[in-house]
């Protein structure tokens, strides 16, 4: 009697730069980031579920589940309908892939806010935001709203172009030597790592600082800076001002660069590289423009060198392109990725500052969506990271924090105020709770001082009466 084997459905290869992400997964940490949208009205979860399922027809590379092979992880088509979860308030909680119908993104809803935890192995934030826009456009279309023409959005009614789920890391890969200066520059030396009191329980604090996009752009142009250069300078200056760095160690901001702007590419998968921007506090004046100019110098030099960008892109594909590494069994590759992190002393980066840029959308979405946010993940060694995105006339700076106190956020808001930029601050429950806890502690301290003052007066009066 012959055995019946299950039918193999369509499978996909992870893009060449994404091989490292499944290998980095642990029980408590995944390579996820969050994209979210705050809408004007509360969300109809039933309609949203249908909209997500329909939007996936336009993004077939996201309708997948992760599988483990002998030599590598791969993706297999997932025919399930994604589940919509109620937001439990625990941000960056690892995705339970089995409960999540094996999808590599998880959509959570709380009243009028939709947030999506997105596994980096699927796509970078540019691809995820495009997916979010398609979901929102389709959602309002299903609600019977007058959505207008599908301008600046990928229409779920249309079939995806092959170029949208192409592996352009593979396309632009070029051989390089491991002793190449580009490799040395990318790895870098140890630098200043932020240290402060951390949360003990799961979940991080998310803070969003909202402002008028044009106000920021005008200030940046006034000083011959880009928005990224200005804000990265402000953020690193904030780090220098509020955290202890007695040895004046180098501050390093890792700034992702969207390679679609530098190479012919339309892919919705991963297609970015990182630029290390260094500031030595002892050599740069501690003011906004000096710090921003230091970022400008490093960032523009890196972007100008297209050969170096291509070499960096190729470095990200090392695990899948190097012939010696390719033949290693997957469990060996997993150790190869995880062990260096376990034994590493110090950190090579102070933080990530990523600017997704201006995301255009149909005019109707500007009316229906209050703001869009992008939150990078954090780790023990890099406990604060920052994502920036502009949607319509609104720019948001989004802090992900593993630390208890919002020191950096407050410093950044103060500096933006100095530049004449009005801000509005929003926070998740954990960040608000921290703020309230600090407020209550301060109140308690004041009450104690008041009680002590009253007690001292009473004792003084008793002594006076006794002497009389």
* CATH 3.30.559.10 is held by the domain 11-167: yes
Contact 54, 155 (CB under 8 A): no
Give the pLDDT of residue 316: 83
Count other Cβ atoms within 10 Å, centred on residue 132. Answer: 25
User: How many angstroms separate the CA atoms of 387 and 170, rounded?
Assistant: 27
pLDDT in tens, 307-355: 889 988 888 887 777 777 777 888 887 877 777 666 667 899 999 999 9
User: How many angstroms separate the CA atoms of 366 and 359, rounded?
Assistant: 11
Query: Tokens 């796509």 identify what position?
Result: 123
User: How many angstroms separate the CA atoms of 392 and 411, rounded?
Assistant: 26
* CATH 3.30.559.30 is held by the domain 170-353+376-433: yes
Note the pTM of the prediction, 2 decimals.
0.88
Give the pLDDT of residue 342: 66
User: How many angstroms separate the CA atoms of 68 and 75, rounded?
Assistant: 9
Give the pLDDT of residue 365: 96
Matching fold, domains 11-167 and 170-353+376-433: yes
- CA 248 vs CA 52, 221, 294, 384: distances in Å: 48, 30, 16, 19
Give the pLDDT of residue 244: 93
- CA 414 vs CA 224, 411, 425: distances in Å: 22, 5, 12
| Residue 45: closest CA among 113, 127, 145 | 113
- CA 363 vs CA 20, 133, 137, 215: distances in Å: 38, 12, 11, 21
pLDDT in tens, 396-431: 999 999 999 999 999 999 999 999 999 999 988 666
Enumerate residue ranges in the chain where pLDDT < 70. 1-9, 340-344, 429-468
Give the pLDDT of residue 183: 75
User: How many angstroms separate the CA atoms of 171 and 132, rounded?
Assistant: 26
Give the pLDDT of residue 295: 98
Query: What are the structural domain ranges in the chain?
Result: 11-167, 170-353+376-433
Give the pLDDT of residue 468: 53
């Amino acid at each position: 009697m012959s055995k019946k084997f299950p039918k193999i459905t369509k499978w996909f290869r992870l893009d060449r730069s994404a091989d490292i992400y499944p290998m980095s997964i642990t029980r408590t940490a995944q390579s996820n980031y969050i994209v979210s949208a705050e809408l004007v009205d509360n969300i109809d979860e039933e309609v949203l579920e249908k909209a997500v399922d329909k939007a996936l027809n336009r993004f077939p590379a996201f309708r997948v589940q992760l599988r483990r092979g002998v030599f590598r992880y791969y993706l297999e088509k997932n025919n399930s309908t994604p589940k919509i979860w109620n937001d439990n308030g625990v941000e960056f909680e690892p995705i339970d892939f089995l409960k999540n119908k094996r999808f590599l993104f998880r959509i959570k809803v709380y009243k009028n806010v939709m947030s999506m935890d997105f596994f980096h192995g699927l796509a970078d934030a540019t691809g995820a935001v495009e997916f979010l826009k398609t979901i929102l456009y389709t959602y309002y279309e299903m609600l019977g709203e007058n959505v207008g023409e599908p301008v600046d959005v990928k229409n779920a009614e249309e079939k995806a172009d092959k170029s949208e789920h192409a592996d352009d890391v593979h396309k632009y890969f070029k051989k390089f030597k491991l002793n190449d200066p580009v490799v040395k520059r990318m790895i870098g030396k140890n630098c200043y790592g932020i240290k402060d009191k951390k949360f003990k329980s799961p979940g991080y604090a998310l803070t969003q600082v909202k402002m008028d996009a044009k106000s920021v752009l005008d200030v940046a142009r006034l000083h011959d800076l880009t928005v990224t250069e200005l804000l990265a300078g402000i953020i690193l200056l904030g780090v220098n001002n509020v955290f202890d760095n007695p040895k004046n160690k180098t501050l390093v901001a890792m700034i992702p660069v969207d390679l679609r702007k530098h190479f012919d590419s339309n892919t919705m998968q991963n297609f970015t590289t990182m630029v290390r921007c260094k500031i030595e506090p002892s050599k740069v004046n501690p003011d906004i423009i000096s710090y921003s100019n230091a970022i400008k110098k490093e960032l523009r030099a890196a972007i100008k060198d297209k050969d170096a960008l291509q070499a960096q892109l190729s470095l990200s594909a090392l695990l899948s392109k190097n012939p010696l590494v390719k033949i290693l069994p997957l469990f060996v590759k997993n150790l190869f990725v995880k062990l260096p992190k376990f034994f590493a002393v110090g950190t090579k980066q102070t933080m990530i500052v990523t600017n997704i840029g201006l995301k255009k959308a149909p005019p109707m979405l500007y009316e229906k969506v209050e703001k869009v946010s992008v939150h990078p993940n954090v780790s023990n060694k890099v406990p604060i990271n920052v994502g920036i995105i502009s949607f319509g006339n609104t720019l948001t700076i989004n802090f992900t924090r593993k630390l208890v106190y919002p020191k950096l956020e407050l410093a950044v808001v103060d500096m933006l105020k100095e530049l004449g930029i009005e801000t509005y601050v929003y926070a998740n429950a954990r960040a608000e709770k921290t703020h309230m806890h600090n407020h209550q502690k301060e109140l308690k301290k004041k009450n104690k001082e008041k009680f002590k003052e009253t007690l001292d007066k009473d004792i003084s009066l008793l002594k006076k009466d006794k002497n009389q």
